[in-house]
Amino acid sequence: MMLEPFGSEAVLVHLPAEQIISVHSSLTERTLNQPSPGQTRPPWLVESIPAEDTLLIRLAHPSTPDMLRELSEFIAEATATPPASATDNLGSVDIAVHYEGEDIEEVAAACGMSIEHLINAHSHAEYRVAFCGFSPGFAYLKGLPEQLHLPRRATPRTAVPAGSVAIAEHYSAIYPRSSPGGWHLLGFTDEVLFDPTRDTPARLSAGMQVRFVPSRAPMITLSDRTALPSHPHTPAVEIISPGASSLVQDLGRSGWGAAAVSPSGAWDRKSHRLAQRLVGNSEQAAGLECVGGDLQLRALRAITIAITGAPGPVYRRQQGVRTAVDAFTALTLAAGNELIIGAATTGLRRYVALRGGIDTPEILGSRSFDTLSQLGPRPLASLDLIGVQTTPLPIPGIDGVVIEPSAPALETDFWPTPAWASLHSDGHMALAEGTFTVSPNSDRIGVRLNGPALIWEVPPPPTATSRPMVRGAIQLPPDGRPLILGPDHPTTGGYPVIGVLTDPDAAAQWPPGATVRLRPRQ
């Protein structure tokens, strides 16, 4: 066992694959609202996320020596339990499969067998869920017969239908929703693998046994179950224009990482929290995250609003007259007033809080929109109506917060991982000297950096092991250009991680074209 600090908000535990499920199951019991008798929930524990040979422990606060010691003792106790007995009660599932997949003939030929032999080999194997990753409810199933091991397709499909049963490398899997993918498609199932409206949204979870059963029953077309509609009964605000992009965000959804649901939430959490406090909301209340600005809205009744984040102009229009107003303070709009949030002058994201907090249905405990999984209320559009909740908290008795306009922090420290030492020294210098710029293709999933390709002094394995990911992780794809993960990142990934930002939210305010410098902290 080895504990590896993974940024300021997580610890990566390296364990033999057969012990991952045992430890994860034990930790999951501790995160329940009502742990077993004699158990307590450690105050530092948020959740555990299993992967192929590692377990990610998400933390409520930065790790301390006492916390790491307690975690080590807990893992030692959990691994003392024989793996079989630790997973006996995790359940088993039979999945009916229509073996009519687009690639079944090609796979049979590549494996040197008939289609009938292929179906028998795939359906008679005993599978166990190793972990979930890639997208919500996507379970990696171990137990695929060796004669069916094939590399992923050279060219991934842009869209794989929901319910597709597929194989790649040494895994089998089912696509819970339509998404891009490079696996070989053997068939389809009617089973709904992920439904956020269920108490247990993911049908399959780590440690479960799975069996595929050939079926000739009529197929039922599956539809993705993601965002729920929002129809406020008493709207407070109408959207005139959403600008480039305006999303509902709170502090995210915790506790669903093992089902491959990322935390999401406001990217610049300090700005989100400040905006909510200025209008007397709880920090967990939902607000708006606007890329660049240019959001315009109309108050349908008197309401108090605050704008934080990247600096930029803000205007109020009443009776056709536009006047400048301050950000970083509580501003009351009368019914009919319009608010115009101009483009950010530096930085990228602006945050808007409405007193009471935006009222939309919670999905898995959060009102945030996750751009990767499409969970949560859809992006705002013109003519949308927004309702707000009520809050018992008073508005703070301050005029505002003094914020000196400045450029975003483009020089950022990071905690290096062991992979950092395997990178060529030229790459160390390139990151520190500011030879990388933010790509326009960046989004909430990840910030791509343009610049020279970094190369390895000691190359990693050709196929990297899939491991848990965190916000602020610096991945290095095969093209050698760093990718910094944002709040909507996949919960697992196969690219090597060379470091994790000491401030995991730092990249939130990096505009396209900005030059960034990344310095390892010793």
In this predicted model, what pLDDT tens digit does every residue of 54-109 receive, in sequence order? Answer: 999 998 888 888 888 888 888 888 887 655 544 555 789 999 999 999 999 999 99
What SS3 state is found at 439?
coil
Strand segments (E) across 267-309: 287-291, 295-299, 303-309
Pair 422, 458: CB distance under 8 Å: yes
Tell me which H or E stretch contains 84: helix 83-87
CA distance linking residue 515 with residue 522, whole number of Å: 23
CA distance linking residue 135 with residue 177, whole number of Å: 8
Taking alpha carbons only, the member of 413, 473, 426 closest to residue 454 is: 426
Q: Pairing mode, if any, of strands 209-214 and 92-97?
A: parallel
Residues 6+ apart with CB under 8 A from 85: none
Residue with tokens 């999945």: 95
- Rounded to whole angstroms, what are the CA distances from 58 to 45, 61, 262, 446, 474? 6, 9, 12, 19, 17
pLDDT in tens, 474-501: 999 888 999 999 999 999 988 899 999 9
What residues form DSSP beta bridges with 316?
323, 339
Mean of the per-residue pLDDT values of the chain = 88
Which two structure tokens, joined as six digits, stand for 189?
């199932």
- pLDDT for position 39: 55
CA distance linking residue 398 with residue 250, whole number of Å: 24
- pLDDT for position 38: 52
CA distance linking residue 174 with residue 194, whole number of Å: 11
Letter string b/e over residues 339-375, b meaning 16 or more CB atoms within 10 A of that residue's CB? bbbbbbeebbbbbbbbbbbbbbeebbebbbbbbbbbb
Q: What is the residue type of 143?
A: G
- Tell me the pTM: 0.88
- pLDDT for position 35: 47
Report CA Rg, the chain.
24
Q: Is the pLDDT of residue 463 over 60?
A: no
CA distance linking residue 452 with residue 426, whole number of Å: 10
Tell me which H or E stretch contains 69: helix 65-79
- pLDDT for position 30: 66
The band of 461, judged by pLDDT with boundaries at 50, 70 and 90, is: low
pLDDT in tens, 286-324: 999 999 889 999 999 999 999 999 999 999 999 889 999
- pLDDT for position 227: 44
**CA torsion, ordered 502, 506, 508, 509, to nearest 10 deg:** -170
CA distance linking residue 100 with residue 158, whole number of Å: 20
The residue count of the chain comes to 522
